[in-house]
Amino acid sequence: MNKVSRRGFLLGTGAVVGVAGGKYLAPSNPSLDGVSVHLAKTGETLLNDASGLSATPVHKHIMLREDLGESLIAKVRAEMVEAKSAGRAINVGAARHSMGAQAIPRDGHAITFDNGFVDADLGAGTYKVHGGARWSQIIAALDPVGWSPKVMQSNNDFGVASTFCVNAHGWPVPHGPMGATVRSFDMVVEDGAVVTCSRTQNAELFNLTMGGYGLTGVIVSMEVEMEPNLRLEPNFAQMEAVQFGPAFEAALADPDVNMAYGRLNVDRGRFFEEALLITYRPTADQSDLPAAAGSGVMSKLARHIYRAQLGNERMKRTRWWTETGLGPMLGSGATTRNTLINEPVVTLDDRDPNRTDILHEYFVAPSRFEAFLDVCRAVIPNSYQEFLNVTLRFVNTDAESYLSYAPVPRIAAVMSFSQEMTARAEADMARMTRDLIDGITGIGGTYYLPYRPHPTQAQFERAYPRAAEFAAAKRSFDPSLTFRNNLWDQYLGTL
């Protein structure tokens, strides 16, 4: 295990304490081993996640880089035998960008997978992939043969099995979450057996593992659907925020729309009053697609404007102007689907050791979008948090996973806050989160589970009505409770 610098963690009001100094940057290079740090004084190993606020003691943290096959399975089994015999937990993670220790087993065995194996089957329109492969590696493998991931997040740093285990969504439309694009996977389960799960084989375990936060086993490989890469061009439509729900639904009725997202203005003066809808359609010319690029000049320019918004209401208005006026003028050229999704998280990193970027995400039916705006207007501007961005996406029905956040089609609102690394800011964030969840579940919506563990137990059970059923099924597949992390410890273990 390497020692890496990491963010400080909270001690008391106003205090920011660095364990090893400096700040942890998300490992855009998957060969980095994540966020563990060994404290020589106490002999403890702490593992953290991208929030920098989840430092949790673990028994050990190991990287497994083996290719698919017996050697990888043997290593996973050996770790399981050791953990089980000592009554300790196991949990596998990839980029550890979940923000509430959802990939950290307290006092247990943390495993990070690091292997980018991808094998595309062009005839079947699928690819076989190592569970630890990152989307950057998958795009690098599919792009030269003319294909693209069907559904992934808006950034390319995350692991493919992680994406399935949080059942993440992206902005390609009109798809459901990523789990909808998974045909099958191989997983090492509690007794050490390797089982293949699909919609026809071990179907209950398939559904339980989709969005099941690694609580059912260790996914070693997956078979996932892909779709052709395309040259796409954007269309920008500006509107009043209250018009966004119906406008988004109307845009999705056009089968040519391949990717779509929205934005709302975030300055406090006119908070959430204006919206922008961006839709991408294929161009007439689909020949000679250029290789997938990374962050373009526009993304890098956008980072500066994005960060300059901190504490600066005028800059928030300037950013809205660049997005609604300058962006359409400068960024309206055609690009490829793969280039659009090949964006690393680090592009927007704040590089400030005293602050951390915290995401929230809420899901509401398009017909309740206006009510959603009202909830946000009542809650967010009253907090101390610096609200930097909201992106709106579409997520189609997920009727398969137990912890589904989209039992009906929903608009996803991904919110980005910059939070001070202080106890006071943390308490304010917790209060704001609970107020938002009360309002949003009150209009039939849901919140997303990979972020900070601020919701109350009652809010969790209200937003995820099948949680107790999930916990009971997990116990039947994992009677020794070998697979655990903070999502289990904090919310599911008592159900």
Ligand X SMILES: Cc1cc2nc3c(=O)[nH]c(=O)nc-3n(C[C@H](O)[C@H](O)[C@H](O)COP(=O)(O)OP(=O)(O)OC[C@H]3O[C@@H](n4cnc5c(N)ncnc54)[C@H](O)[C@@H]3O)c2cc1C
**Residues interacting with ligand X, by CB under 6 A?**
50, 91-98, 102-103, 113, 131, 153-155, 158-159, 161-163, 165-166, 168-170, 213-214, 218-219, 345, 359, 450, 485
CA distance 307 to 309: 5
Q: Among residues 149 and 159, whose Cβ is nearest to ligand X?
A: 159
Query: Hey, what are 230's tokens?
Result: 């395309």
Q: Among residues 168 and 302, whose Cβ is nearest to ligand X?
A: 168
Instruction: Tell me the closest approach of the beta carbon of residue 192 to ligand X, in angstroms.
Output: 15
Instruction: Tell me the closest approach of the beta carbon of residue 283 to ligand X, in angstroms.
Output: 25
Q: What is the dihedral of CA 437, 439, 443, 446, to 10 degrees?
A: -10
Q: Could you identify the residue written with the tokens 């190592």?
A: 130
Q: Among residues 126 and 163, whose Cβ is nearest to ligand X?
A: 163
Task: Go through 461-473 and write b for each residue having 16 or more CB atoms within 10 A of its CB, e for each that does not.
Answer: ebbbeebeebbeb
Q: Among residues 1 and 242, whose Cβ is nearest to ligand X?
A: 1
Q: Among residues 214 and 331, whose Cβ is nearest to ligand X?
A: 214
Q: Measured at CB, which residue is nearest to ligand X?
A: 214
CA distances from 358 to 139, 147, 288, 355, 385 (A): 26, 32, 39, 9, 10
Instruction: Tell me the closest approach of the beta carbon of residue 357 to ligand X, in angstroms.
Output: 7
Instruction: Tell me the closest approach of the beta carbon of residue 11 to ligand X, in angstroms.
Output: 24
**192 Cβ contact partners less than 8 Å away, ≥ 6 residues apart:** 77, 80, 81
Run of H or E including 358: strand 355-364
Q: Among residues 289 and 348, whose Cβ is nearest to ligand X?
A: 348
Q: Among residues 212 and 331, whose Cβ is nearest to ligand X?
A: 212
End-to-end CA distance of the chain: 35
CA distance 45 to 37: 6
CA distance 150 to 234: 19
Instruction: Tell me the closest approach of the beta carbon of residue 353 to ligand X, in angstroms.
Output: 18
Nearest CA-CA partner of 245 in 262, 257, 232: 262
Instruction: Tell me the closest approach of the beta carbon of residue 329 to ligand X, in angstroms.
Output: 26
Instruction: Tell me the closest approach of the beta carbon of residue 404 to ligand X, in angstroms.
Output: 13
Instruction: Tell me the closest approach of the beta carbon of residue 44 to ligand X, in angstroms.
Output: 21
Q: Among residues 113 and 248, whose Cβ is nearest to ligand X?
A: 113
CA distance 280 to 258: 6
